[in-house]
Amino acid sequence: MSFPQTIMGKYGWEKTETSSQKHVLGSRMTLPDGRVYRYVETAGSDIAGGAVVQAAAGTAAHDQDLIVVAASAGATTVTINTSGTYTKDQYKDGYMHINSGTGAGEVYRIKSNTAVSGATGMVLTLDEEDGLATALTAGASNCEVGLSTNPYKDVIISPTTVTNVAVGVAPTLLTADYYGWIQTWGPAAVLANAAGVLGQHVRVGGASTAGGTEDMDFDGSNENEQLIGVQMLIASAAADYALVFLQISP
């Protein structure tokens, strides 16, 4: 698949969903008033309207320090030489990043991957025309990589203890294992876990309700949480759906 495109949407399109995929995951849609949405696939549970949506949690054994077989610059396949279990195309449309050694800091889009069960030899095919920019050297001390799924694939309600980045807010009920839209910019109705403060930054919520938000007070408590926007209109009550100007992805 190609890189995400921008779709000029009409009011109401953001509330549509389908059981089959219609766009590239991560495709951007803008409405005439400037609100912005991203196209997602939900995981195995419904997501309530107004809930903060999080990218799927990573697989701990895959997130970094995987050893690779040596590969030349320009190669479009990379073989993982660390024993593990991978399902076919588990990382399709996701990313391989080089976390240490030769090529550190480079990120590659994944087109497909083979299936491996408790063994080495999983092959990644890169979705990059020119392949590797830097030759990869075998061995743990030379080059190690990490794998991540597409952040818009198998999205979930942001849990009370976050396990990945918040990517948007559901503009309506999103059905499990369906494709639809999440809002990333502009006015949105968002679940409030606590009473809000007009004009104050809003963060991913604490331990009260999954998918909710709280204000960022900058008082020394919870200041490491992700900011997602600014409280609009009025000081919201706890458990209400507050109007928030989202500032996740323009």
Whether residues 52 and 79 fall in one domain: no
Q: What domain range includes position 139?
A: 60-148
pLDDT at site 219: 63
Answer yes or no: is 71 within a domain.
Answer: yes
Whether residues 138 and 103 fall in one domain: yes
Whether residues 66 and 95 fall in one domain: yes
Whether residues 144 and 163 fall in one domain: no
pLDDT at site 196: 78
Cα dihedral angle (25, 128, 80, 142), rounded to 10 degrees?
-130
**Threshold 0.75, pTM exceeds:** yes
Ranges under pLDDT 70 in the chain: 1-4, 206-207, 219-222
pLDDT at site 1: 43
